Amino acid sequence: MITREPTIERLAIADKLMLEPFGITEASLAQALGAIREHRVDDADLYFQTTRHEGWSLEEGIVKSGSFSIDQGVGVRAVAGEKTAFAYSDDLSVEALMDAARTVRTIAAAGQDKRVKLQRAPRVASIRTLYAPTDPIATLDSTQKVALLERVEKMARAKDPRVAQVMASLGAEYDVVLVARADGTRAADVRPLVRLNVTVIAEQKVGGQVRREVGNGGGGGRFGLGYFTDAMLQSYVDHAVHAALTNLDSRPAPAGDMTVVLGPGWPGVLLHEAVGHGLEGDFNRKGSSTFAGRIGQRVASKGVTVLDDGTLPDRRGSLNVDDEGHASQRNVLIEDGILRGYIQDSMNARLMGVKPTGNGRRESYAHLPMPRMTNTYMLAGDRKPEEIVASIKRGLYATNFGGGQVDITSGKFVFSASEAYWVENGKILYPVKGATIIGNGPEAMTRVSMIGNDLQLDTGVGVCGKEGQSVPVGVGQPTLRIERLTVGGTA
């Protein structure tokens, strides 16, 4: 069997889906880019995308909803200095492409910085093939997808009689992108993405009243639905049920400044928010990040090494190429506590005099790219996790997080712990509820006193929001001990 080189294969798939059916040729791409470059620009690109998404959800033992959507279009961009001209269209045709190119040229010539959607008069196509010959989402048929969700519910209810309600959802996405740059670069990526979520509500009577608590589990990545074996489903269910039952026994969280130990894996979301966003190139170029101008300086304790790595196989945040056509990379951001670099897209890299890092990302063809994280995590240390927990004289051990937010300029963050425990003299005494962890990202990194040898990445559920755009990401870390964080509690 003869196969093509993967890069050529991806380009061929993108061409077959988004160019050939609409009469768009290589000459059309060159003509559009040429039209943009009639006025002086530093960069220009065309971003074609087609996305199919399917979702299923189950509640109370029945499938409550099912959805299927298709979206496709092209975004056209020109960059001159710090100014960006951008237009997009959900009509894939040579005419729409040239209209977008001429609109961008006009905006760029006027020195403006704005975003326009092109509206085209609707027309009926005489003959058109609207669907690809095969549906890549169909790694399982509909019956199998429903049966998968039903297995999740049965597993959860069988786990403990206190499980009163189970909600499960399954999503699959097939995303194909093609980038044509003014410098002649052509790049394509074919991006599968699947995710399964399970939420359980457990209840028990306490003092004549019914107490209810929630637990969540799930995961996914860039592969087919066959990844969700019964063993994998059981691991998600075990995690969700454990969290709900633990919280049934939780007490109000103490408050004050104290030692906090963060568990491995998903608690790395705190690292993502409190440090990762502050290392994105746009914030540092503008001087609005607390990390701006600090390359080569100590910004964290010795032993703290933070990476953003888009090259991890099958991970949710990984990319073969970013949304500007650059290969993803393994970027060392902080090395042994010293700041080594920022996360860059092409525009901010050019303006800062450095190279792009493969982090130019956008939510869709209708959005501008910007520097975004991929898989952001801290490398392991040499301490055993049980040793770290045993070192706590009086403090909090947080193993899972819910929502949180950060102020990039000040570095201040607030996070709610969805699963946490009170520890005294090295002993876990009881689970607590309502713990809110408050701190400053850069300061917190200088207060890391112990780093575990148990690095874990999250199970594949991360979604990062920035300036109204959402993209899939990964997070991770080993067990960490951090001194003097503020815990806002209810006790």
Residue-level pLDDT at 37:
85
CA 491 to chain CA mean position, Å: 34
Which three-class secondary structure string do you get for 411-443? CEEEEEEEEEEEEECCEEEEEEECCEEEEEHHH
Q: What is the rounded distance in angstroms from the CA atom of residue 356 to the CA atom of residue 146? A: 43
Residue-level pLDDT at 9:
82
211-227 pLDDT tens trace: 999 999 999 999 999 99
Count CB-CB contacts under 10 A for residue 335.
Answer: 15
Residue-level pLDDT at 491:
62
Q: What is the rounded distance in angstroms from the CA atom of residue 396 to the CA atom of residue 465? A: 28
Q: What is the rounded distance in angstroms from the CA atom of residue 197 to the CA atom of residue 323? A: 27
Q: What is the rounded distance in angstroms from the CA atom of residue 232 to the CA atom of residue 337? A: 36
Q: What is the rounded distance in angstroms from the CA atom of residue 480 to the CA atom of residue 467? A: 30
List Cα–Cα distances, 166 to 142, 162, 195, 203, in angstroms.
20, 11, 17, 12
Residue-level pLDDT at 251:
94
CA-based end-to-end distance of the chain: 67
Q: What is the rounded distance in angstroms from the CA atom of residue 258 to the CA atom of residue 384? A: 21
Handedness of CA 18, 24, 26, 31 (dihedral sign): negative
Q: What is the rounded distance in angstroms from the CA atom of residue 368 to the CA atom of residue 347? A: 11
Q: What is the amino acid identity at position 114?
A: K
Digit-by-digit pLDDT tens for the chain (491 residues) are: 444 567 788 888 999 999 999 999 999 999 999 999 887 888 999 999 999 999 999 998 888 888 999 999 999 999 988 899 999 999 999 999 999 999 888 766 655 555 544 444 433 223 323 223 345 487 889 999 999 999 999 999 999 999 999 999 999 999 999 999 988 889 999 899 999 999 999 999 877 899 999 999 999 999 999 999 999 999 999 999 999 999 999 999 999 999 999 999 999 998 998 899 999 999 999 999 999 999 999 999 999 999 999 999 999 999 999 999 999 999 999 999 999 999 999 999 999 999 999 999 999 999 999 999 999 999 999 999 999 999 999 999 999 998 778 888 888 999 899 999 999 999 999 999 989 999 999 899 999 999 999 999 999 999 999 999 999 999 999 999 999 999 997 76
Describe the crossing of helices 94-109 and 26-36 by its angle, rounded to 10 degrees.
20
Residue-level pLDDT at 109:
62
Q: State both tokens at 487.
A: 């815990």
CA 426 to chain CA mean position, Å: 35
Contact in structure between 174 and 137 (CB atoms under 8 Å): yes
Query: Which pTM value belongs to this model?
Result: 0.91
Residue-level pLDDT at 4:
58
Which residue has 């001194």 as its token pair?
Answer: 483
CA Rg value for the chain: 25
Contact in structure between 240 and 216 (CB atoms under 8 Å): yes
List Cα–Cα distances, 419 to 283, 427, 434, 441, in angstroms.
32, 17, 9, 21
Percentages (nearest 5) of helix, strand, coil residues in the chain: 25, 40, 35
Residue-level pLDDT at 184:
86
Q: What is the rounded distance in angstroms from the CA atom of residue 43 to the CA atom of residue 27? A: 19
Contact in structure between 241 and 233 (CB atoms under 8 Å): no
CA-nearest of 375, 392, 388, 381 to 302 is 381
Beta bridge partners of 59: 62, 167
Describe the crossing of helices 230-248 and 142-159 by its angle, rounded to 10 degrees.
40
CA-nearest of 67, 69, 39, 35 to 52 is 69
